[in-house]
Amino acid sequence: MKIAVFPGSFDPITNGHLDVLTRVAPIFDAVVVAVLQNVNKRPLFTLEERLAMIRAAVQGLPTVRVDSFAGLLVDFARDVGAVAVIRGIRSAGDCTMEVQMANMNRRLQPQLTTLLVPAAAEYAFVSSSLVKEVAGHGSDVTGLVPSSVGLALSAKFGPA
Ligand code: PNS
């Protein structure tokens, strides 16, 4: 079994994340979306809310499962038997940070390989933070997030 982990805060998951997930899912036997439990900044959504939104969004991807983790990503990856870590990149800025993380993870667990997947051009400007900011000011984020997230944002902030 070739297993990959797709880690993140997912506060909330966006269509950019989903695009990356959809592209990599056929390459592996299974992909585990790994949701970081204790996000540094106070998350808008609880862990349970983030997991539920992702589970709803990946219903059409039978080889994708959703789990959460605390502590080091490399330990979670080892526990699920993953050979690869998947991260999406939108910009040169992302790339710099992701290569730094990839090399630290490689030092911690040399067998685990990080694969960086470019975000689709139409989602290159989409981030969880911007989605929350825009939705928080009452503007529409339809098309940028899955419907499960759109509903959850409306529940938090009111409909756009
Ligand atoms: O969606 P994010 O916030 O960009 O995801 C960052 C994440 C969760 C991938 C990263 O912070 C992480 O792996 N955290 C777990 C702790 C860890 O392993 N730190 C060392 C990484 S080099």
- Rounded to two decimals, the pTM is 0.97
pLDDT given for residue 40 in this prediction: 78
Which of 13, 35, 36, 40 best tests ligand 1's pocket when mutated (most atoms within 8 Å of CB)?
Answer: 36
Whether the pLDDT of residue 38 is over 90: the answer is no
28: nearest Cα among 105, 146, 117, 99:
117
pLDDT given for residue 160 in this prediction: 76
Count Cβ atoms below 10 Å from residue 153 Cβ, excluding itself.
24
pLDDT digits (tens, 9 = 90+) for 9-22: 999 999 999 999 99
128 has catalytic annotation: yes
Cβ of 148 less than 6 Å from ligand 1: no
Cβ of 128 less than 6 Å from ligand 1: no
CA 14 to centroid of chain Cα atoms = 8
Cβ of 105 less than 6 Å from ligand 1: yes
Which parts of the chain are beta strand (E)?
A: 3-8, 30-36, 64-69, 84-89, 113-118
pLDDT given for residue 48 in this prediction: 97
pLDDT given for residue 31 in this prediction: 98
Residues of the chain with pLDDT > 90, as a percent, come to: 96
pLDDT given for residue 71 in this prediction: 96
Cβ of 72 less than 6 Å from ligand 1: yes
Whether the pLDDT of residue 39 is over 80: the answer is no
Between the CA of 8 and the centroid of ligand 1 the distance, in Å, is 6
| Closest ligand 1 atom, residue 36 Cα | 8
pLDDT digits (tens, 9 = 90+) for 83-109: 999 999 999 999 999 999 999 999 999
